[in-house]
Amino acid sequence: MQPASKLLTLTLLIIMGTELTQVLPAIPEESWQVYSSAQDSEGRCVCTVVAPQQSMCSRDARTKQLRQLLEKVQNMTQSIQVLDQRTQRDLQYVEKMEVQLRGLETKFRQVEENHKQNIAKQYKAIKTKMDEIRPLIPVLEEYKADAKLVLQFKEEVQELTSVLNELQEEMGAYDYEELHNRVSNLEERLRACMQKLACGKLTGISEPITIKTSGSRFGSWMTDPLAPEGDTRVWYMDGYHNNRFVREYRSMQDFMTSDNFTSHRLPHPWSGTGQVVYNGSIYFNKFQSHVIIKFDFRTSSISKSRQLDYAGFNNAYHYAWGGHSDIDLMVDEGGLWAVYATNQNAGNIVLSKLNPNTLQIVKSWTTNHPKRSAGESFMICGTLYVTNGYSGGTKVYYAYSTNSSTYEYIDIAFQNKYSHISMLDYNPRDRALYAWNNGHQVLYNVTLFHVIRSEEL
C-alpha cells in the first residue's frame, strides 16, 4: 500500500527511447492529469506523471483521509486482540503437545531397546499418549493459520501508522495554501523533468502518415510548437518562391477535411521551403536575399529583420533538390536555428543558433558536410540530422551535435513514399517530423534514445 501522503507519482525508465504515439497533443483531463512521452512494446521510453486534483489537498479531504485511516487502525487493533487471545490459548496446547511428543519419543526409544520384554505394556502406554495428542493436531493447524494472519495484520497496522504520522505532521505544519504551493512546485519540477526526457538521440523514424494531398510539388506546412494549449492551427505555404500568401487552418482536423482557411499576405515573397512558425510569428528568408524576416501574425507586421552575414542565397548553396533552399530555418527543444552555407566554409553547412527576438546569431558551428549534397535536414535536441537525398531511396546518414561539436555517420531508414522531399522539419511539441513530399503533406513519428543521469532528476 502506497503512503496516502504522496501527492504526486513519477515513474521513469532509466534507459529509454521516446516514440510518439499521438502526433496531436492530448487535452489534459480536468481532474487527474496524465503526461506521457510514450513507449512501445519493445521497452522504449516511459515518463508518466499523475497529478491529483488540487482539491485533494484541501483540509477537508485530508481530514476525511485521516478519519478513514484511523477507523481502519481501530478495527485492525480489535482483530489483532482477538487473534492474539486465540494464539495464546493455542500456544498452551502446542507447548503441552511438545512435552507429550518428547515423552512419546522416549517411549519409542525404550520400545526399540527392549521390545520383546515390554512390548505389550509399552504399546498400551503409546496408545494412551496418541489418544491425548490426536485432538491437538487440528489445533496446531489453526494456530499456524492464525499466526500468519497476525503477522499480516501487524505489518499493515505498522504501515497505516506510518501514513497517519505523515498526515498528522502535514496537517499540523501546513495550511491549505502551503499544500497547494507544494503541489504546484512539484508539478513544475515534473514538467521540467519531462522536458529533459523529451530530448535524446534519434534512433528511428516511423512509416509516413499522409495527412493531405494538396498544392504543388514544393511547399511547406507546420504547426507552432509554442502555441497556447488548445491552439492546433496549421500553417500552409505552397511553392518555394514568388509567393506571399500563407494559409491558416483553424485546426489539424480542418486542414485534413476542408479547404476553409484564412489567408495572410506577407510583405515580401519567401525563398525556399525553410520557413517556420514559432511563438505566433513566422520566420522566413526574403526572396533573392540573405535577409531573415520575423512577421507577427497578431499584428500583421514585420517585427524584426536582419541579414544572415555571409550566408549564400539565390541558389548559391541550396539543398540537392534546388528550389532556392539556401537558408533553412527550424526549431527544436532549444529554440530557433538557421542552416546555410558560406564561401568561408567552402560551401559546407553552417549551423547557427538565433535569438528569436533580435534574430542575432547566438553561436555558430561549422560542419564538414557540403550543403548541396544534403537532401534535407532537421534539428532535434541540438543535433542536426541530414538525409542523403530527396528522391527514391532515402535515409538519415549524418548527424552533427552542437553539444559536443562532433559529427558521426549514421544509418536511419526514412521512407520516401512519394519520391520527392522538398521540406522536412521537426516539431518538438508534437515530437514528429513534418514533410512536404511531392504535393503530399506527411507526418513521421520519431524514436529518441535517452539516458537519464541521476543529477538530471
| pLDDT tens readout for residues 97-145 | 667 777 776 777 676 666 656 666 667 777 676 666 666 566 556 555 6
Q: Domain ranges in the chain?
A: 62-198, 201-449
Alpha carbons 163 and 369: distance in angstroms, whole number = 60
- In the chain, what percentage of residues exceed pLDDT 70? 59
Residue 380 has pLDDT above 50, yes or no: yes
* Residue (of 169, 201, 302, 185) closest to 244 by Cα position: 302
What pLDDT was estimated at residue 6?
34
Q: Does the pTM exceed 0.85?
A: no
Residue 288 has pLDDT above 90, yes or no: yes
Grouping H, G, I as helix, E, B as strand and the rest as coil, residue 324 is coil
Alpha carbons 249 and 277: distance in angstroms, whole number = 13
The residue-averaged pLDDT of 1-15 equals 34
What pLDDT was estimated at residue 199?
84
What does the mean pLDDT of the chain come to? Answer: 78
Pick the CATH number of 201-449 from 1.10.40, 2.40.128, 2.115.10, 1.25.40: 2.115.10
What pLDDT was estimated at residue 54?
42
What pLDDT was estimated at residue 395?
96
- Residue 254 pLDDT level (bands cut at 50, 70, 90): very high
Residue 384 has pLDDT above 90, yes or no: yes
What pLDDT was estimated at residue 99?
73
Across the strands, what pairs with 379? Answer: 384
pLDDT tens-digit series, residues 35-94? 344 444 454 444 444 444 444 444 456 566 666 666 666 666 666 666 566 566 666 666
Q: Which of 193-202, 246-255, 289-298, 392-401 has the lowest mean pLDDT?
A: 193-202
For residue 46, how many other CB atoms are within 10 A of its CB? Answer: 17
Label each residue of 378-418 as H, E or C: EEECCEEEEECCCCCCEEEEEEEECCCCEEEEEEEEECCCC
Alpha carbons 77 and 28: distance in angstroms, whole number = 42
Q: Note whether 130 and 124 are within 8 A (CB).
A: no
Residue showing cell 509554442:
226
Q: Note whether 246 and 261 are within 8 A (CB).
A: no
Cell triple for 22? 499521438
Q: How far is CA 162 from the centre of its chain?
A: 32
Alpha carbons 176 and 178: distance in angstroms, whole number = 5
- In the chain, what percentage of residues exceed pLDDT 90? 53
Q: Note whether 452 and 188 are within 8 A (CB).
A: no
Cell triple for 169? 505532521
Looking at per-residue confidence, does 42 or 400 come out higher? 400
